[in-house]
Structure 1
Amino acid sequence: MQLTEMSFDDARPFDGYGPGFFRVGGDVVEGAVIVHPGGLRGWGGYADADALTAFAGQVDVIFVGTGTEIAHIPCELRDAVEATGLGLEAMSTPAACRTYNVLVGEGRRVAAAVLPVD
């Protein structure tokens, strides 16, 4: 198998995750986090729609990592985010981390808002 080195330019990829934490661009971050091409910030979870709507015009889609298993995004959060024109895709946190890394490596305008795994 041939492996190809990915270039992330200024974006910080997910390097790993574990119970309650993420490793992003070499740094360990505790709790829920939003990772985007410009950096990262803490996230208050499903009740924190403002943190996601702030990315309107900066990214096209936000991958929401719902933890160990895929779960539905609460309607209030989905409605608030999609009203700004942003796309929202729910998936398990491991899938959201992988998907973010691939697409940001391709230069796509994406972000990931992820809840920690157990």
Structure 2
Amino acid sequence: MQINDMPFEDAVPIDGYGPNFFRVNGEVHEGAMLLIGPTPAAWGGYDDAASLLALAERVDFILFGTGPEMAHIPAALRSQLDAAGIGAEVMATPTACRSYNILASEGRRIAVALLPV
């Protein structure tokens, strides 16, 4: 099997995750995290819609890592995202991390909002 490096031009990859932390570009970030491009930031969870809606002109959709298992995001949050023209894809956090890395390496206009495992 041949392994190829993925180019990250305007983003940084998620290197790893564990109980209540994420490692991005070699740095550990505790708790829920929002990542767009090269900038990881703390995220206040589903009650922090403002930080997600502020991305409206920068992203086409947001991947949501909902913890160790896939779960729905609150209907009110989904409605706000829809009204702002932001797509939302939900999946378990490990899957969201892998999906983000692939899509970001392709230069997609995405963000990932992650709840810890």
Q: Classify the TM-score, shorter chain.
A: over 0.9
Matching of residues 73-112 of structure 1 within 5 Å: 73-112=73-112
Q: Does 1:20 align with 2:20?
A: yes
Matching of residues 8-87 of structure 1 within 5 Å: 8-87=8-87
**Distance in 2 of aligned mates of 1:116 and 1:61:** 20
Unaligned runs of 5+ in 2: none
Unaligned runs of 5+ in 1: none
**Distance in 2 of aligned mates of 1:26 and 1:54:** 26
What is the SS of the residue equivalent to 2:17? Answer: strand
**Distance in 1 of aligned mates of 2:86 and 2:37:** 16
Q: 1:28-75: per-residue Cα shift (whole Å, max 9, x none)? A: 000000011141111100111111111001010100000000001100
**Distance in 2 of aligned mates of 1:23 and 1:38:** 13
**Distance in 1 of aligned mates of 2:18 and 2:38:** 23
* Inter-CA distance 68–81: structure 2 relative to 1 (3 Å threshold): same
**Distance in 2 of aligned mates of 1:38 and 1:14:** 10
What is the SS of the residue equivalent to 2:107? Answer: coil
What is the SS of the residue equivalent to 1:76? Answer: helix
What is the SS of the residue equivalent to 1:113? Answer: strand
Calculate the TM-score normalised by the size of structure 1. 0.96
The count of aligned residue pairs is: 117
RMSD of aligned residue pairs (Cα, Å): 0.8
What is the SS of the residue equivalent to 2:76? Answer: helix
